[in-house]
Chain A
Amino acid sequence: MSQNTAVKERKAKPVARKDMTRAQWTWKEMKKNKAGYIMIAPFFILFFVFTVVPVFLSMILSFTSFNLLEWPKFVGLDNYVRLFLDDDIFLTAIQNTLIFAVITGPVSYLLSLFVAWFINELPPKMRAFVTLIFYAPSIAGSMYQIFGIFFSSDRYGYVNALLIEYNFITEPIQFFQNAKYVMPLCIIVALWTSLGTTFLSFIAGLQIVDNSLYEAGALDGVRNRWQELWYITLPSMKEQLMFGAVMSITGSFGFGGIVTALAGFPSVDYCAWTIMHHLEDYGGQRFEVGYSSAIATILFLMMIGSNMLIKKLLSKVGQ
């Protein structure tokens, strides 16, 4: 790590360092900047122990059979083989997780972008108010459980009551006990809570686009707001687009809690069972640590992989 940095630094200022080797230079810089290490140490030690180590520990344990009581036993790829060949529920989980991610990720991203863009030209007070309306659901804790009352399975649930009142149905629909409805409803609820950090980042990004660019664009023949968005606004806020994508993707893989709260654990016929649930089941309840580490590793790789992929794609915006 430090060597890489040193190489880059050397390219930046080649003159000062001709008289010593890379290692000597690095050592000198390290001594000169030792305050930096002291300042970052408290954070980094905790970060290392609680974030870096667990990722690698999971990867190692995923090749073992381990129940927390006996010493882990190396089993090679057995856990992965079992996951993909013997565990039908896991395949359902992967499928549902991907459906969740592919729908909620892009939709919440685009929703954040367009709402932020719509409200960009409102007067500041008005904009702050509208921001609050759209952002509040993402920080409102367990408020999404109101959907449990909306779609309650008896006639006192608002939706059933309306449908019965206007004679669309005679018997109340069991919304969260019917495999047909659970996934779509959970996706709607997840979208309701999804205008979070990405949204705020876009609002801020739109505010700092240089006005002279718009004026110059108008002179160069930008005709309407859509052209302006594509040719001027988006390229100027590319870094926010990137950050927002990371936030949205990470969020779109993490919606397990909403399903558990609304549809139960497990949801009926495992119809909305995600990798998060599988992980909780094997890790938090059955304590099959090796097996759940394999699940965690797959989830980790899926998240990192899709983030990298989207970063690649987004670097093409406006080019």
Chain B
Amino acid sequence: MARKMRVRNHKVVLNRSAGGDAGITVMLVILGVLMFIPMYFSVMTSLKPLDELWIFPPKFYVINPTLKNYADLFKLMSTSWVPFSRYIFNTVLITVAGTFGNLCLGSLAAYALSKIPFPGRKGIFQMIVLSLMFVSTVTGIANFITFSFLGLVDNLLAIILPACCSTLGLYLMKQFMDSSVSNEALESARLDGAGEFRVFWSIAMPMVKPAWLTLIVYSFQGLWNTGSSIYIQSEQLKTFNYAIQQILSAGIVRAGASTAAMVIMMIVPVTVFIISQSNIIETMASSGMKD
């Protein structure tokens, strides 16, 4: 039987029927449009002037796009109880400190788990894998007790410290090191008399740049969207996302300003992802979990 063989993206692609290709393309377009519609509407609504927001039936496009909603958002913000810059400062502080901490602690730990055969490392790694299997809400109440004990309730450290020991980025980095940092390179450096920290810093770390970036992106995304938390009570320690939720809770009356807020909240993580996408995919190639 003759088989069809075609070359697509310089890869050999076998056994593809034209009907199947068409069907898949149609499915993909339908799904893609469904995924895209809500984002499209958020941007459109945020650009609508007030009179267009109240047209019945609502239009699916903007006639006279305006940035007035964004200006209104900042006006709304300046009338808030706490200066709005404070919310933004808190979010930036949490995000930067938590991500930096997670990167430092996580990469050291990933290196140790991947490249130093100390007794106990398998057990620790199993605990880390187990921690990927439940959401942090489960530990919230008990952590509240820990934080009251440590005097950290109503302190941003209560958000930052747990973020520093978040495990997903560490897990991905460890798996990436397993598959892409050769033990020979490390061994020859050790024979030349380099200590573990030196080997870690000047040999292993430069080889796992995609994994750093992935860890940074994951930590960043999580922290950037930090909303209200039971650990934080003072208004001046609340985050940007919390403030946005307050604006959103006014509902359709503020549809313009609230969609503007959503778009602003979205732009930052999406931009970060666009820049780092190829590195993240490269890291994910070794994300696999062995049984």
Residues on A close to B: CB < 8 A? Answer: 1-2, 4-6, 8-9, 26, 29-30, 33-37, 39-40, 42-44, 46-47, 49-55, 57-58, 61, 68, 111, 115, 118-119, 121, 123-124, 128, 130-137, 139-150, 152, 154-158, 161-162, 164-165, 192, 195, 197, 200-201, 203-205, 207-208, 211, 214-215, 217-218, 222-225, 227-228, 237-240, 242-243, 246-247, 249-250, 253-254, 256-257, 261, 276, 279-280, 283-284, 289, 292-293, 296, 299-300, 303-304, 307, 311, 315
Contacts of A43 in B (CB 8 A): 105-106, 108-109, 164-165, 170
Contacts of A204 in B (CB 8 A): 281-285, 287
Chain B 1-31 interface 0/1 with A at a Cβ cutoff of 8 Å (1 = within)? 0010100110111111100100010011001
10 A-B residue pairings within 8 Å (CB atoms): A5-B119, A5-B123, A37-B112, A39-B200, A43-B108, A142-B261, A143-B265, A145-B248, A239-B288, A242-B288
Contacts of B273 in A (CB 8 A): 132, 135-136, 139
Contacts of B11 in A (CB 8 A): 121, 211
* A311 vs chain B, min Cβ distance (A): 6
Complex alpha-carbon distance, A233 and B262, angstroms:
39
Known A58-B142, A154-B252; judge A250-B41 contact (CB<8 A).
Answer: no
B146 within 8 A of A: yes
A146 with B119: CB separation less than 8 A: no
Residue in B15, B28, B255 whose beta carbon sits within 8 Å of that of A149 in the complex: B255
B142 with A146: CB separation less than 8 A: no
B244 with A157: CB separation less than 8 A: no
Residue in B12, B200, B248, B289 whose beta carbon sits within 8 Å of that of A246 in the complex: B289
> Which single residue of chain A is at the shortest CB-CB distance from B34?
A192
* B213 vs chain A, min Cβ distance (A): 13
Contacts of B282 in A (CB 8 A): 204
A49 with B289: CB separation less than 8 A: no
B270 with A50: CB separation less than 8 A: no
B39 within 8 A of A: yes
A47 with B167: CB separation less than 8 A: yes
Known A42-B108, A148-B251, A254-B137; judge A134-B288 contact (CB<8 A).
Answer: no
Residue in A5, A145, A296, A311 whose beta carbon sits within 8 Å of that of B142 in the complex: A296
B269 with A141: CB separation less than 8 A: yes
Contacts of B39 in A (CB 8 A): 136-137, 140, 143, 146
Contacts of A58 in B (CB 8 A): 138-139, 141-142
Known A43-B105, A115-B28, A139-B273; judge A146-B120 contact (CB<8 A).
Answer: no
B138 with A299: CB separation less than 8 A: yes
B32 with A215: CB separation less than 8 A: no
Binding stretch for chain A, among B70-78, B124-132, B181-189: B124-132
Complex alpha-carbon distance, A42 and B161, angstroms:
11
Chain B 40-54 interface 0/1 with A at a Cβ cutoff of 8 Å (1 = within)? 011001000000011
B235 within 8 A of A: no
> Which single residue of chain B is at the shortest CB-CB distance from A296?
B138
> Which single residue of chain A is at the shortest CB-CB distance from B45?
A149
Contacts of A143 in B (CB 8 A): 38-39, 42, 262-263, 265-266
A240 with B58: CB separation less than 8 A: no
A-B pairs, top 8 by smallest CB distance, nearest first, are A239-B288, A1-B123, A54-B142, A36-B116, A36-B118, A204-B284, A35-B196, A54-B139
Residue in B141, B221, B244 whose beta carbon sits within 8 Å of that of A296 in the complex: B141
Interface residues of B in 241-270 (CB under 8 A from A): 241, 244-245, 248, 251-252, 255, 258-259, 261-263, 265-266, 269-270
Complex alpha-carbon distance, A161 and B252, angstroms:
14
* A38 vs chain B, min Cβ distance (A): 8
* A26 vs chain B, min Cβ distance (A): 5
Contacts of A157 in B (CB 8 A): 58, 252
* A246 vs chain B, min Cβ distance (A): 6
Complex alpha-carbon distance, A33 and B116, angstroms:
7
Contacts of A304 in B (CB 8 A): 130, 133-134
Chain B 132-169 interface 0/1 with A at a Cβ cutoff of 8 Å (1 = within)? 11111111111111101000000000000110110110
B277 within 8 A of A: yes
Complex alpha-carbon distance, A164 and B120, angstroms:
65
B120 with A222: CB separation less than 8 A: no
> Which single residue of chain B is at the shortest CB-CB distance from A290?
B141
